[in-house]
Structure 1
Amino acid sequence: METVTLTMSQALVAFLNKQYISIDGRRHKFFKGVMGIFGHGNVTGIGQALEQMHEEHAKDGFLFVQGKNEQGMANAAIAFAKQQNRLQTFACTSSIGPGALNMVTAAGTATVNRIPVLFLPGDTFASRQPDPVLQQIEYPLDYTITANDAFKPVSKYWDRIVRPEQLMSAAIQAMRVLTDPADTGAVTLCLPQDVQCEAYDYPLDFFAERVYVIDRRPAAASAIERAASVLRGKRKPVLICGGGVHYSQAVDELRKFAETFGIPVVETQAGKSAMAWDHPLAMGGGGVTGTLAANRLLREADAVIAVGTRLADFTTESKTAFRNPDVEFVAINICQADAIKLNAAAITADAREGLTALGEALRRDGYSAGYEAGELLRLKWEWDAEVDRLYTIERSDGLAQTRALGVINGFVGDSDVIVCAAGSLPGDLHRLWRVREPDTYHMEYGFSCMGYEVSGALGVKLAHPERNVYSLVGDGSYLMLHSELVTSLQENRKITVLLFDNHGFQCIHNLQRGHGSSGYGNEFRMRETEAGRLDGSFMPIDFAAHARSLGARAYTAASAEQLEEALRLAQRETVSTLIHIHVLPGTNTDGYDSWWHVGVAEVSESERVRRSYEGLRSKLGTARKY
C-alpha cells in the first residue's frame, strides 16, 4: 500500500479538501474551507498545515477565513451551510481553553438547527508533558476531561484524536454525521496540540475523492396509507411548512400539493419563503409569532400536515394552537424523532418524496379540502390589510418599528436576503415580512442566538456574493457580537447592517411586563444613583460612529424619510455599511390569537403577578400534555 508521511493536521486538511456530497446526480464540494483564529493550541498544527498547503487548496477553491471572534466565525459557518441548504459548509478551528469554549454556543446553534459544521478545537497535550499547559482546565478526578468535553452535549458526534492514526476513523465517522440529512449538526474533533504535529504514514487512498450520496429516503407504502386514511373526510386541513422543505428542495412540490388539494400553507420561521407572500394559499407564519389568518386556521383545523418541522413550542403555541377536538396530525420528516410528535401518522421520508407519494394517494382518493368559497381569501385579505396598516403607522414621537420594516420591505429586491435571529424582530418579520423568492428569508430561530445576525450575514454573503445581504439586528444583539463586521470588510464581502436601536432588550422587557412585572433590568439606562436601579436616562450610544471606527460606512435614521434616504445611500456603497435606526420601544407586534408558555412566579407580593399566574394555570388547562 502506498503511503505518504504527513502530520495529523496536514492529513486532516488534505482529507477535508477531497470531500464531496451528491444529491439528484449533482456533486457539490462539501467544505468551502476553514474559518479560524490561531493560538498556541492550533497555530503550529492546523495553522502550519493550512499555510503549507495553501497554494494547492487555493487552486481547489478551499478558502481560509480569519475570524475575529470564535463564536462569530462559527455563526458565519452555520449561516453559510444553512444558506447552501446543507450542501456545503466550513470547518472552524480554535486554540484550546477560552478560544474553544467560545465555539460551544455556536455548536449548540448548529445542532438545534440541524446544520452541519465541523468544529476543530485545540486541546491539551496528549503526552501531558507540559502539565498543566497554558489555558488548561485541570479536573483532578479525571485527567481525560478538558474544556472541550463541554462540546459533548451540543454535538452530534464528538471525538478526541490522541494518536495520529486515529484521524482516519474519526474523520470518516465525522463525515457520516455531517452528511446525514436526519441526524446532522455540530461535529467536534478535539485535537491535542502535540498530536496535531505528529507524523504518520497515511495510506494514499485516504486522500482520494470521497462522494457521499444523499439517497432520497422514499415513503413506505404503509405509512402513506395510514396518513391518507387520517385525511379522508377531513374538511379543514392545514399544511405547516418547516425548514426541511428547503433542505430537501421540495418548495415546488409543497406548492403543487397545496394547490392540488386546496390546502392553506402556514410557515415556521425556518420554512418561511417557501411560498410567495401573495400566493392565495399562503397564510404566513403560524404560532406565537404568527399571523391572525394562520392562527385562526390552526385553531379550527381538523387535520394538520406538518412537513419538515420540529413542531417546537413557538409553532404549536406550547401545544395550545390546535383547538378542534377532532384534529389529527400527519407528519412528513426525514427525522423519525420529529415525525412522531403530537401522535402524528408518521411518514419518515424525504420531504419531497413524502409529499409526492402522499399527493398520489390523495389524488387516487379524489380528495380535496372543504373550505367554503372565499373563506381563505377573506382571511388572507384581512391580514394583508393589517400588514398594510402596521407598515404605514405614523407616530408623532418617533419611528415605529413596524413602520421601519415597511420601508425596508418596500426597498429590498426580491432576491435580496435578510438575516435575523433574536429579539422582537423575528416576531415582526415572521408576521409581516413579504417575501417572493425562496431562500431570501434567513432566520436562525431554533436557538434564537443573540449575536448571530452580523456574523450570519457574512456567512450568507460568502454563500451568495452576488446578492445583497441585510442583517436586521437589535442594539442588544449587536452589542453582544458584531466582530465579523470587520471580517466582511477584510473579505470584501459587503453586508448592510440595519441596526434597530430601541434602547435595550425590549423583547424581554415586553415579556416581563406582560406577566405582571413593571419591568426590571432590560433597558439600557444609566444608574443615576449609586444604590439605585438602572432607571435613569437612556444610554447615548452612537452605533454609526462605532461602525465607522471599524472601517464601515454608516448612516443614521430617525424617521421613515431618513431611513429611505439611508437605504439608497447604503446601496451605493461598495463596503459593508451600517444604518443606525432609532425606533420607539414597544412598537413591535404582539398577540394575534397566540399564546406562549412562560413560567410565572407561583407566589408573589404583586397582585399583577398573581393574576398572571392564574391566567397561566387556566391556559395550561387547554394545552396538550405531550
Structure 2
Amino acid sequence: MAQTKWMTVAQALVEFLANQWTVDGDHAERTIPATIGIFGHGNVAGLGQALKEHHHASPGLMPYHQARNEQAMVHQAVGYARMHRRRGTLAAAASVGPGAANMLTGAALATANRLPALLLPSDTFATRVADPVLQQLEHPHDLGIQVTDAFRPVSRFFDRVQRPEQLFSIALAAMRVLTDPAETGAVTIALPEDVQAEEFDVPVEFLQRREWHIRRPRPERGALARAAEAIRGAERPMIVAGGGVLYSDAEGELRAFAEATGIPVGTSQAGGGVLDWDHPQNLGGVGATGTLAANRIAALADVIIGIGTRYSDFTTASRTAFQNPDVTFVNVNVAAFDAYKHGTQLPVIADAREALGELAEAIRGHAVGADYAAEIAREKAAWDADVDAAFAASGLDLPGQPEIIGAVQRSSAPEDVVVQAAGSLPGDLHKLWRVRDPLGYHVEYAFSCMGYEIAGGLGAKRGALAEGSDRDVIVMVGDGSYLMLNTELVTAVAEGIKLIVVLIQNHGYASIGHLSETVGSERFGTKYRAYDRQAQDFQGDEVLPVDLAANARSYGIDTIEVAPGPGAIADLEAAIARAKASDASTVIHINSDPLIYAPDGAGWWDVPVAQTSQLDSTRRAREEYLSQQAAQRPLLG
C-alpha cells in the first residue's frame, strides 16, 4: 500500500517544490531553491505557516526571503534565472487582491523575456463562505472572476487550486513549463486562502525527489542540410545571436563556428556576452540600438543566421536593418514560434548548442572570402575607435552618459555583471559596453521595465552567490527608474547582500525626452521640473529639490555622492573602486547631461508620428519618419 502523509495544501506544495531538480547533462540544481514572499491575510496562514513549519523542521529545505514589493519579487526571480541560464528560479508568494495584482508587471516581464519565474498569488475563498471578503473583486455577471484571472494573458501557465486533490496535476504541469526551454516564462498557481490551509492525504511519492531534464533537441537532417547549403552559398553571411545561445550554454560552440568560418556576429540585448567584445568576429549589438559596424554589415548581408533570437523590433531595427533584396534567414531556435519568424523557409528547430555543432560539421572547410573578412575587420576597428572616443573624459561639469559608462567599464572586473533595463541606458550599453564574460551583460529589454534594475540586480547577485561566485553586480539606473522601484535596497541591507548601484540623475526621462524630440513633441512631459502654474506645464527651468542620495542613505546603504565638476569622472572611478573594496552595498550618485549622446549606430525604431499637426516640429518629424519608413521591408526570407 502506498505511503501517505496528512498535510495542508500549502505544506505539500512547499515540500514538493523543495524536491524538484533541473538536470542539464551532468549539471543538476534545485529548480526552486528559495521562496520570496510578502504575507497578508490571504497567505499568512497557508504558505506562511508552511514555510515556517518546514523551516522549523529543516531550515535548508525551502529558505524564505523577505521582499518589499511584489513586483520586485518576480524581478528577483528573473534575475536569478538569467544568471542560472534558466535552470533555476525563485518562487514568489503574494497575498490576496493588491498583493497579487502587484505581481502582474513582473509576470509579463518574465514571459516576455522567456525566463522562468514561479508565481504563487493568493486568491479569495474557494468556498465563498464569507463573500465578499476584504480585497475581493465583485463582478455581478461572473462571481468567479478575481484578480488572479488577470495573470492568464501574462503567464505561460496558469491554474487555480480549487480543491486540494488538484494540486498534484497542477504542480507537475507547472514544473514541466518552468523547465521547458521552448515554453518557459511566468508560471502562475493561484491559491485560494481557504484551500491553502485545508488538509488532505498526500502520497509520499509526490514529495520525493523528481528530476526535470532539459530538452536539447538536435536539428532534423533535412533542415540542417538546407541551412548548410544556404550558408555555403552566401557571400556576406552574418549571425544574429540572441539569449538562446547563453541559455543553451553554447557560447563555446558559437565562438568555434565564427572562428572557423569568419562569419561576423551581431547580438541582441539578450545575447550580449556570447562573445567577448574584442573577439574579431564580434561586431556588437545589432539593430535599433546597435553599433555602426554591425548595422553596416547587416544592411548588405545575404544570409542572416539567427541563433536563439526572437527578432524583436529593436533587433531588426523595425525591419529596416537587413536591406539586401535577396536576404535569406536561417533561423535556429528551440521554439518553432521563433524559428519560423519573418516567413523564413529555412527554420531549424533545435537547441542552439546542438545545432551549432552540427552546422559546423556540415560546412567544415567553408569560410568567408578575404575581401569580406577585411571589411569586417575595418568596420570593427572603426567602431572600437568611436567607443574609445566616447569613453574619453570631457572635463565638463556634467559628464555625458557615454563617459559614465566608460568610467564604470574601466573600473569593473571582467567577471562583473552590469544590470540595466529601461531608459537611455540600454541603448548606450548595447553600443558601448565591452562584455568580457558570458554572464557579464544583463539588460532586461524584452519588457524594458522601469524599476527592474535594483530588484533584478539583487536576483542576479543571489544567483551568483548560489553558485559560489563573489562577482560584483553593478546596477546602472537612471533617476526615472530609481523612483519607480528602489525599495529592494532595504532587502539588500537586511540580508547583507552586496550591490553596487550607479545612480545617474539627469532630472527627467532622458530616453523618452530624446524620443519626444525626434517625433516632434519637444520633450513635453519628460522633464522633472516644478509645475509652472502660468504655463500649466512642467517645461520650465526650476529643477526639483529631490535628494536621491539622501533617499538611498535613509535605507542604510553606504552612499557616495560625485559632485559636478571637471573631475567628476575621476571621482566616479574612485567611488567604484571604493565600492568594490567594500563588503556592503553602495549607491554612487552622479549627475549627468542628458543631451550628450552615444555615437550613432544608424539604427531606426518605428514610432509613428502624428499625420497632421499645427506644430512645425511635428510636421518636420513626420517627413523624417516617412523617409525612414520607406526602408521597411516585409523580410520574407
Q: Which amino acid aligns with 1:539?
A: L
Q: Within 5 A, what are the aligned runs for 1:193-208?
A: 193-208=193-208
Say whether residues 1:575 and 2:580 are aligned partners: no
Between the aligned partners of 1:381 and 1:107, the Cα distance in structure 2 is: 41
When residues 409 and 19 of structure 1 are mapped into structure 2, their CA distance, relative to the original with a 3 A threshold, is same
Between the aligned partners of 1:370 and 1:142, the Cα distance in structure 2 is: 66
Q: Within 5 A, what are the aligned runs for 1:409-448?
A: 409-448=409-448
TM-superposed CA distance for 1:397, in Å, is 4.3
When residues 548 and 156 of structure 1 are mapped into structure 2, their CA distance, relative to the original with a 3 A threshold, is same
**Aligned match of 1:370:** 369
Say whether residues 1:517 and 2:521 are aligned partners: yes
**Aligned match of 1:123:** 123
Between the aligned partners of 2:471 and 2:547, the Cα distance in structure 1 is: 28
Say whether residues 1:618 and 2:635 are aligned partners: no
Between the aligned partners of 1:115 and 1:198, the Cα distance in structure 2 is: 32
**Aligned match of 1:544:** 549
TM-superposed CA distance for 1:561, in Å, is 2.0
Look up the SS of the partner of 2:127 in the other structure. Answer: coil
Q: Deviations over 1:183-234 (max 9, x none)?
A: 1000111100000000001111111110011231011000001112222321
RMSD of aligned alpha carbons = 1.3
Q: Is the 8 Å Cα contact of residues 307 and 351 (structure 1) preserved in structure 2?
A: yes
Look up the SS of the partner of 1:119 in the other structure. Answer: strand
Look up the SS of the partner of 2:600 in the other structure. Answer: coil
**Aligned match of 1:26:** 27
Between the aligned partners of 1:517 and 1:277, the Cα distance in structure 2 is: 36
Say whether residues 1:607 and 2:606 are aligned partners: no
TM-superposed CA distance for 1:371, in Å, is 4.8
TM-superposed CA distance for 1:618, in Å, is 3.2
TM-superposed CA distance for 1:393, in Å, is 4.4
Say whether residues 1:64 and 2:64 are aligned partners: yes
TM-superposed CA distance for 1:617, in Å, is 2.8
Q: Which amino acid aligns with 1:21?
A: T
Q: Is the 8 Å Cα contact of residues 217 and 350 (structure 1) preserved in structure 2?
A: yes
Between the aligned partners of 1:49 and 1:614, the Cα distance in structure 2 is: 62
Between the aligned partners of 1:460 and 1:75, the Cα distance in structure 2 is: 10
Between the aligned partners of 1:531 and 1:97, the Cα distance in structure 2 is: 40
Q: Is the 8 Å Cα contact of residues 291 and 601 (structure 2) preserved in structure 1?
A: yes
Between the aligned partners of 2:536 and 2:211, the Cα distance in structure 1 is: 63
Structure 1 runs (4+) deviating above 6 angstroms are none
Q: Which amino acid aligns with 2:45?
A: T
TM-superposed CA distance for 1:531, in Å, is 5.7
Q: Within 5 A, what are the aligned runs for 1:28-67?
A: 28-60=29-61, 62-67=62-67
Q: Is the 8 Å Cα contact of residues 555 and 580 (structure 1) preserved in structure 2?
A: yes
TM-superposed CA distance for 1:572, in Å, is 2.9
**Aligned match of 1:263:** 263
Look up the SS of the partner of 1:89 in the other structure. Answer: coil
Q: Deviations over 1:114-152 (max 9, x none)?
A: 111110001010111111110001111111110111100
Between the aligned partners of 1:624 and 1:176, the Cα distance in structure 2 is: 38
1:487 to 477, 485, 491: 491
Between the aligned partners of 1:487 and 1:530, the Cα distance in structure 2 is: 43
**Aligned match of 1:497:** 501
Between the aligned partners of 1:621 and 1:97, the Cα distance in structure 2 is: 47
Look up the SS of the partner of 1:330 in the other structure. Answer: strand
Q: Which amino acid aligns with 1:169?
A: S
**Aligned match of 1:566:** 575
Q: Is the 8 Å Cα contact of residues 304 and 329 (structure 2) preserved in structure 1?
A: yes
Say whether residues 1:320 and 2:312 are aligned partners: no
Between the aligned partners of 2:552 and 2:397, the Cα distance in structure 1 is: 26
Q: Is the 8 Å Cα contact of residues 600 and 609 (structure 1) preserved in structure 2?
A: yes
**Aligned match of 2:391:** 391
Q: Is the 8 Å Cα contact of residues 332 and 355 (structure 2) preserved in structure 1?
A: yes
Q: Within 5 A, what are the aligned runs for 1:150-161?
A: 150-161=150-161
1:591 to 600, 606, 612: 600
TM-score normalized by structure 1?
0.98
**Aligned match of 1:555:** 560
Between the aligned partners of 1:615 and 1:494, the Cα distance in structure 2 is: 46
Q: Which amino acid aligns with 1:220?
A: E
Q: Which amino acid aligns with 1:369?
A: V
2:536 to 532, 537, 545: 532
TM-superposed CA distance for 1:568, in Å, is 2.2
Between the aligned partners of 1:517 and 1:26, the Cα distance in structure 2 is: 53
> Larger deviation: 394-403 or 123-132?
394-403
Q: Is the 8 Å Cα contact of residues 19 and 209 (structure 1) preserved in structure 2?
A: yes
When residues 158 and 211 of structure 1 are mapped into structure 2, their CA distance, relative to the original with a 3 A threshold, is same
**Aligned match of 1:148:** 148
Say whether residues 1:507 and 2:516 are aligned partners: no
- Aligned residues, how many? 623
Look up the SS of the partner of 1:422 in the other structure. Answer: coil
TM-superposed CA distance for 1:113, in Å, is 0.6
TM-superposed CA distance for 1:440, in Å, is 0.8
Q: Is the 8 Å Cα contact of residues 41 and 192 (structure 1) preserved in structure 2?
A: yes
Q: Which amino acid aligns with 2:277?
A: W
Q: Is the 8 Å Cα contact of residues 180 and 215 (structure 2) preserved in structure 1?
A: no
For structure 2, the residue ranges without an aligned partner over 5 or more in a row are none
Look up the SS of the partner of 1:263 in the other structure. Answer: coil
> Larger deviation: 372-381 or 399-408?
372-381
Q: Deviations over 1:3-46 (max 9, x none)?
A: 11000000000100010011113221111110000000100000
Say whether residues 1:307 and 2:316 are aligned partners: no
**Aligned match of 2:294:** 294
Between the aligned partners of 1:312 and 1:485, the Cα distance in structure 2 is: 31
Q: Deviations over 1:448-494 (max 9, x none)?
A: 01100000111011111311111100000000001111101111111
Q: Is the 8 Å Cα contact of residues 289 and 590 (structure 1) preserved in structure 2?
A: no
**Aligned match of 1:134:** 134
Q: Is the 8 Å Cα contact of residues 235 and 371 (structure 1) preserved in structure 2?
A: no
Q: Within 5 A, what are the aligned runs for 1:82-93?
A: 82-93=82-93
> Larger deviation: 242-251 or 549-558?
549-558
Q: Is the 8 Å Cα contact of residues 544 and 580 (structure 1) preserved in structure 2?
A: yes
TM-superposed CA distance for 1:608, in Å, is 2.5
**Aligned match of 2:353:** 352
Q: Is the 8 Å Cα contact of residues 34 and 64 (structure 1) preserved in structure 2?
A: yes
Q: Which amino acid aligns with 1:477?
A: S
Q: Deviations over 1:38-76 (max 9, x none)?
A: 00010000000000110444234x321101000012111
Between the aligned partners of 1:121 and 1:303, the Cα distance in structure 2 is: 46
Between the aligned partners of 2:40 and 2:247, the Cα distance in structure 1 is: 35
Q: Is the 8 Å Cα contact of residues 393 and 569 (structure 2) preserved in structure 1?
A: no
Q: Which amino acid aligns with 2:441?
A: Y
Q: Which amino acid aligns with 1:30?
A: T
Look up the SS of the partner of 2:34 in the other structure. Answer: strand
Q: Is the 8 Å Cα contact of residues 237 and 304 (structure 1) preserved in structure 2?
A: yes
Look up the SS of the partner of 1:20 in the other structure. Answer: strand
Q: Which amino acid aligns with 1:247?
A: Y
**Aligned match of 1:241:** 241
Q: Is the 8 Å Cα contact of residues 334 and 351 (structure 2) preserved in structure 1?
A: yes
Identity of aligned residues (%): 46
Look up the SS of the partner of 1:533 in the other structure. Answer: coil
Look up the SS of the partner of 1:78 in the other structure. Answer: helix
TM-superposed CA distance for 1:258, in Å, is 0.5
Between the aligned partners of 2:586 and 2:58, the Cα distance in structure 1 is: 31
TM-score normalized by structure 2?
0.96
Q: Deviations over 1:559-612 (max 9, x none)?
A: 112212221222233221101110011223263211110011111111321232
TM-superposed CA distance for 1:357, in Å, is 1.2
For structure 1, the residue ranges without an aligned partner over 5 or more in a row are none
Q: Which amino acid aligns with 1:624?
A: R
**Aligned match of 1:110:** 110
TM-superposed CA distance for 1:165, in Å, is 0.9
